[in-house]
């Protein structure tokens, strides 16, 4: 009986973190984009399959960590925060929806759309910094 209770509590704790992630995605951010939730699953699958293929676990962990175009956006946002922009302004940037919908863009238009989104992001970050400087 004690084993069942212990197992149920452990399983509930694991599901609690998952529910918290979905709650943050839908309620706090108020933008239904499950890209983050899917990237954890993808990273875990890449890591597991790399380990099962007989490679070093540290290498597998590095391969399972998403490090792609998001670094460009993260660097721009970090620069804006260093420039003392309000986090509330950054979270409410209109370009955020374009970034979330980027996965639905046809492959032949990816480069063009990426440049437009990057341009919009830079403009909106500059506006957020300008608003902060005028206050």
Q: What is the pLDDT of residues 38-90, one digit of tens each?
A: 667 777 777 888 888 888 888 777 777 765 445 556 666 666 667 666 667 77
Whether residues 95 and 49 share a domain: the answer is no
Whether residues 17 and 53 share a domain: the answer is no
Distances (CA, A) of 45 to 33, 42, 52: 20, 5, 10
pLDDT for 38: 64
State which H helix or E strand residue 119 sits in.
Answer: helix 110-134
How many whole angstroms separate alpha carbon 36 and alpha carbon 22? Answer: 9
Whether residues 46 and 102 share a domain: the answer is no
Q: Whole-model pTM above 0.75?
A: no
Over the chain, what is the mean pLDDT?
Answer: 75
Whether residues 53 and 110 share a domain: the answer is no
Domain count, the chain: 3
88 exposure class (CB count in 10 Å sphere: 0-12, 13-18, 19+): exposed
Residue 111 has pLDDT above 50, yes or no: yes
Whether residues 84 and 125 share a domain: the answer is yes
Whether residues 48 and 85 share a domain: the answer is no
pLDDT for 69: 42
Whether residues 98 and 129 share a domain: the answer is yes
pLDDT for 33: 60
User: Domain span at residue 26?
Assistant: 1-33
Whether residues 87 and 129 share a domain: the answer is yes
CA angle 94, 18, 24 (to 5 degrees): 25
Whether residues 85 and 129 share a domain: the answer is yes
Whether residues 45 and 15 share a domain: the answer is no
Output the six-digit token pair for 7.
């197992």
pLDDT for 118: 83
């Amino acid at each position: 009986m004690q084993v069942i209770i212990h197992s149920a509590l452990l399983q509930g704790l694991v599901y609690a973190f998952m529910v918290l992630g979905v709650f943050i995605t839908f309620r706090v951010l108020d933008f239904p984009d499950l890209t983050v939730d899917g990237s954890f699953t993808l990273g875990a699958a890449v890591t597991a399959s790399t380990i099962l293929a007989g490679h070093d676990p540290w290498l597998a962990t590095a391969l399972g960590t998403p490090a792609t175009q998001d670094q460009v956006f993260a660097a721009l946002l970090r620069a804006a925060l260093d420039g003392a922009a309000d986090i509330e302004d950054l979270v409410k940037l209109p370009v955020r929806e374009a970034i979330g919908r980027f996965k639905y863009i046809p492959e032949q238009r990816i480069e063009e759309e990426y440049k437009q989104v990057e341009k919009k992001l830079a403009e909106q970050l500059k506006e957020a910094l300008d608003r902060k400087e005028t206050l």
